[in-house]
Chains A and B, each alone.
Chain A
Amino acid sequence: MGRLLASTLGPIHGVAFSSTALQSAPEPITDAATIARRVTSLPDRAQDVGAMLMRSLAWRTHQQVGDGSATTAVLAQAIFEQASRYVAAGANPIRLQAGIHKATLRATAALRDMASPVTCQEQLVSVAYAATREPELSFMLGEMFDLLGQYAYVTIENYMAPYLEREYIDGGQWQTKLISPHLISEPGSGKAIARDCNVVLFNGTLSKAEEVLPLIKAISQKEQKNLLLVAQKISGEAFNLLVATYVQNKHRVQFVLVDLVRAGEKALNDLQDLSVLTGARLFDPNAGDTLASITAADMGSARRAEANAEYLFVSGGKGSPAMLDEHINALHKYLGSLPFDDNRVAEIKMRLGRLAGKMGIVKIGAYTQNERDVLHQRAQQGIHSLEAALTSGILPGGGTAYLHCIPLIKGMECEDEDENLGCRAVMHALQRPFEQLLHNAHVPDPGSLMSAIANADPGLVYDIQARKICPATECGVLDAAHTLIVSLETAASGAQMALSTEALILKRKPRISYQP
């Protein structure tokens, strides 16, 4: 399994084909994460345990940073193989583990120190290219993250024919449903638009006329009469009254009236975000609120609200900037407290993106489902890598950054010889990604190249495509620091677990797990 995943490392690598009974043609796979996901068991029960451990490590890295699965596999295998030799020669596995842990900490600290912040769009394009190997897609993602910044929330839309485009969303986007086609003010685009509108938020169902009458009265007394009303559901008499009011006054007012599509906690999140962004009070019937007492002060405002059949877009919210900052900081803190694979991570990232006005869509398409899947996955990898690069900075790629950690580990003091052997296992492993890249690209004489790079300026890398040593920023061979750090940590963790395994308990009828 390790060798299979390692064969996908680098810009020039092999292709694996996956074949199942359901597919007429084998599926070509070029990235380690997908290979890991496709291999669900090995015939040999004992080997299967190791393979599934490796699969889990590769997938964990992929989930966390979107890239680095092959690097994780290479590092994990190298640490484990070297440490196993030491154990076979009589070293204490526990002390070896301590050494591996110590060396990993030192190496990750060194990687953090060596990382430099992203300074230009070209660097972002290079990071995206390292993850996707798609020049056009990388260019587009690099441009998007350059414009959107660290808290970008980029989603992917698939199309049925070859297509590559991007769209930037001005303001925030909410999943809603326009309650009536009578509200559409732009028939061509099917949009209802309200400019400089009052914003009213209701976390419940509005169905009776008397529930919305106070709102209509309050709006009629305002100088600016345009309205965005967001509720969980607007129906019955309330619906009729609001739509009739709009139709009677459509030449003087603009109404955008929408039902929320999401339910429960997510609907509340939507309303809370709108409340902070526009400065509107959130009326919650669960807390006894009704619109009966609504005043002008309860209404927020926005420069523009537009809704179509699926989404509401709000830009230029006039909420308090201080409250918005506080809300964004609280969400950041919450995001930081969640494990990377928590279901809520995507939701929080989306909320941060729309609150900060940093939302974009990558539109990709291909003729076949396979191509679309591959493109989608690569775009996802690129997005994760760029998020990591903007968060943690960038490092020279192609395994070079790992090579420059080796002298630092060499200089560490260890408590005993076995701990020292653990450090040596990590040092050995840190050379392996570079060697594997050269091996995959069939580059002759990897030894002399490795010593040339190890002794060179830390900013120099070996560009496999150009077959020469050059500055990383010049040739664009860059990796996100976070990706390298997570790959090493995950690999060391997996190798330590394997190293401390004394026995395997095999069930008579094992269950196959499709989730790595």
Chain B
Amino acid sequence: MKNIWQKITSLPLNDAISGISAIHSMGETDARSIWLCSPAGLFYEENGQFHQQLDGLPFQGASAVFTLGKTVFAAGYPNHIVYSPDGGRHWFSSRVEQILSTITCFAASPNFAQDALLLAGSDGDGILRSTDGGTSWQLSNFGLRSLHILALAFAPLGKYQAMPGRPAYRYEMVFAATEEGVYHSPNAGRAWKFAGKGMPNVPTLSLLVSPDFQRRPTPSGSHFTGALFAGTDGAGLYRSQDGGQNWYALTTFPANATVNALMFDRRGRLLAGTGEHGILASADGGETWFPLLETEEAILCLAEQGGRLLAGTAENGLLAFET
């Protein structure tokens, strides 16, 4: 298969694209299936063409976008959060606890259908938590030293029992990348604990949790299986095999790379969007890497939709690769 990336020319934008989110199954032919955000605004793809979302938003420049089923969540400058329950047709403003900084990222609980829980990271006010599906947001910063949140990632929910008759341990693990490293919360963002042992003293920009992440009982407590990945600002990619307790640099990854985005594609490959090395891919959980897109353009975000890999760049709009 030829590795050809093409610039999406229908997108009237050459600004930095800081976030992409894809709606996978709307079941409608005119679905607005891809959403992306940039300082120039919020954009969506409809019938193969990109358009700017102009109606219903209290902001112009968008700082983060996130889709969940048909619901689209978007954040704009300076500190707005809006949501659209019908794939972008109608928009509502969320009630947000008083913050002054911009929302940088969103994450939804794996159990969203039951708990309606969402988290949003901000660049200076910490983490906002919503338990009503994004209608209202409250700060939830207990334990955080750094309030500059750059990425959030939920781990799969889990429950285990050391022995029959004993309490079952539930964990709702979520990780936050901050300017001072990685934090974890065992209780879906109610409180946070530093979990960046072994990470360099640089901001952590991206996080990824393996789908097989689990907590298992051991004779002396419990241990985690499944890897976590953390991309740093100029210090390469780090991996933890113990639930974020200890981190180790992936030596096969460029050591001084800036890793802006991480994702698993539908083939299970680990993709890293970097600042200097284009997109690197690994088919063996980070042991070896090969280039998927060689460019000097900084890749800021990644997404996959309908057999297409999408990469948002810093200055060259959106690139797509038919897989």
Type the 1/0 row for A113-139, where 1 means its CB is closer than 8 Å to any CB of B: 000000111110110010000011011
Q: Among B100, B163, B191, B219, point to the contact of A147 (Cβ < 8 A).
A: B191
B86 neighbours in A (Cβ, 8 Å) = none
Alpha-carbon distance between A24 and B323 when the two chains are bound, in angstroms: 73
Type the 1/0 row for B168-180, where 1 means its CB is closer than 8 Å to any CB of A: 1110000000000
Alpha-carbon distance between A450 and B286 when the two chains are bound, in angstroms: 52
With contacts A129-B167, A139-B169 taken as known, whether A120 is within 8 angstroms of B186 at the C-beta atoms is: no
Q: Among B139, B143, B221, point to the contact of A120 (Cβ < 8 A).
A: B221
Q: Among B142, B165, B221, point to the contact of A465 (Cβ < 8 A).
A: B165
B168 neighbours in A (Cβ, 8 Å) = 135, 139
With contacts A122-B162, A186-B98 taken as known, whether A474 is within 8 angstroms of B167 at the C-beta atoms is: no
Interfacial residues of chain A within 184-206, with CB under 8 A of chain B in the complex: 185-186, 188-189, 193, 195
- Specify which of A168, A463, A471 lies most central, judged by the most chain B CB atoms within 10 Å of its CB: A168
Alpha-carbon distance between A121 and B169 when the two chains are bound, in angstroms: 10
Report A451 CB to chain B, min CB distance, Å: 24
- Specify which of A129, A169, A476 lies most central, judged by the most chain B CB atoms within 10 Å of its CB: A476
Q: Among A119, A135, A170, point to the contact of B167 (Cβ < 8 A).
A: A135
A48 within 8 A of B: no
Closest A residue to B144 by beta carbon equals: A170
With contacts A122-B169, A139-B167, A143-B187 taken as known, whether A195 is within 8 angstroms of B100 at the C-beta atoms is: yes
A463 neighbours in B (Cβ, 8 Å) = 163
Alpha-carbon distance between A169 and B190 when the two chains are bound, in angstroms: 10
B186 neighbours in A (Cβ, 8 Å) = 121, 143, 146-147
Check B165–A166 contact: CB distance below 8 A. Answer: no
Check A476–B166 contact: CB distance below 8 A. Answer: yes
Report B162 CB to chain A, min CB distance, Å: 6
Main secondary structure on chain A at its contact with chain B?
Answer: mixed
Check A466–B170 contact: CB distance below 8 A. Answer: no
Q: Among A125, A188, A315, point to the contact of B169 (Cβ < 8 A).
A: A125
Alpha-carbon distance between A476 and B165 when the two chains are bound, in angstroms: 11
Check B221–A129 contact: CB distance below 8 A. Answer: no
Report B93 CB to chain A, min CB distance, Å: 13
Report A391 CB to chain B, min CB distance, Å: 20
Type the 1/0 row for A446-472, where 1 means its CB is closer than 8 Å to any CB of B: 000000000000000001011000110
Q: Among A121, A125, A135, A189, point to the contact of B97 (Cβ < 8 A).
A: A189
Q: Among B95, B100, B139, B165, point to the contact of A466 (Cβ < 8 A).
A: B165
Type the 1/0 row for A148-177, where 1 means its CB is closer than 8 Å to any CB of B: 000000000000000000111110000000
Report A139 CB to chain B, min CB distance, Å: 5
Check A129–B166 contact: CB distance below 8 A. Answer: yes
A240 within 8 A of B: no
Interfacial residues of chain A within 296-317, with CB under 8 A of chain B in the complex: 315
B29 within 8 A of A: no
Check A138–B139 contact: CB distance below 8 A. Answer: no
Alpha-carbon distance between A213 and B193 when the two chains are bound, in angstroms: 43
A64 neighbours in B (Cβ, 8 Å) = none
Report A184 CB to chain B, min CB distance, Å: 11
With contacts A122-B162, A122-B169, A475-B166 taken as known, whether A168 is within 8 angstroms of B98 at the C-beta atoms is: no
Closest A residue to B193 by beta carbon equals: A147
Check B221–A122 contact: CB distance below 8 A. Answer: yes
With contacts A135-B167, A473-B219, A473-B220 taken as known, whether A168 is within 8 angstroms of B191 at the C-beta atoms is: yes
Check B163–A170 contact: CB distance below 8 A. Answer: no
With contacts A147-B193, A166-B190 taken as known, whether A315 is within 8 angstroms of B141 at the C-beta atoms is: yes
A139 neighbours in B (Cβ, 8 Å) = 167-170
Check B165–A186 contact: CB distance below 8 A. Answer: no
Interfacial residues of chain B within 126-153, with CB under 8 A of chain A in the complex: 136, 138-143
With contacts A122-B162, A135-B168, A186-B97 taken as known, whether A170 is within 8 angstroms of B142 at the C-beta atoms is: yes
B164 within 8 A of A: yes
A121 neighbours in B (Cβ, 8 Å) = 169, 186, 221-222
With contacts A121-B186, A473-B221, A476-B166 taken as known, whether A169 is within 8 angstroms of B100 at the C-beta atoms is: no
Alpha-carbon distance between A139 and B186 when the two chains are bound, in angstroms: 12
Alpha-carbon distance between A167 and B188 when the two chains are bound, in angstroms: 12
Report A482 CB to chain B, min CB distance, Å: 21
Alpha-carbon distance between A335 and B163 when the two chains are bound, in angstroms: 39
B191 neighbours in A (Cβ, 8 Å) = 147, 168, 360
Report A382 CB to chain B, min CB distance, Å: 12
Alpha-carbon distance between A146 and B193 when the two chains are bound, in angstroms: 10
With contacts A474-B162, A474-B163 taken as known, whether A119 is within 8 angstroms of B221 at the C-beta atoms is: yes
Alpha-carbon distance between A103 and B212 when the two chains are bound, in angstroms: 53
With contacts A143-B187, A147-B191, A475-B162 taken as known, whether A170 is within 8 angstroms of B139 at the C-beta atoms is: yes
Alpha-carbon distance between A471 and B193 when the two chains are bound, in angstroms: 29
Check B136–A188 contact: CB distance below 8 A. Answer: yes
With contacts A143-B187, A166-B187, A473-B220 taken as known, whether A138 is within 8 angstroms of B167 at the C-beta atoms is: yes
Check B166–A168 contact: CB distance below 8 A. Answer: no
Q: Among A120, A135, A143, A170, point to the contact of B220 (Cβ < 8 A).
A: A120
Check B167–A125 contact: CB distance below 8 A. Answer: yes
Residues of chain A touching chain B, judged by Cβ–Cβ distance below 8 Å, are 119-123, 125-126, 129, 135-136, 138-139, 143, 146-147, 166-170, 185-186, 188-189, 193, 195, 315, 360, 463, 465-466, 470-471, 473-476
Chosen A-B contacts, 9 in total, with CB atoms closer than 8 Å, are A135-B167, A136-B167, A139-B167, A139-B168, A170-B142, A466-B163, A473-B219, A473-B220, A474-B162
Other than the known A121-B169, A147-B193, A195-B98, what 4 A-B pairs have Cβ atoms closer than 8 Å? A123-B221, A129-B167, A169-B142, A473-B221
Q: Which 5 residue pairs across A and B have the least CB separation, nearest first? A: A120-B221, A168-B142, A135-B167, A168-B191, A465-B165
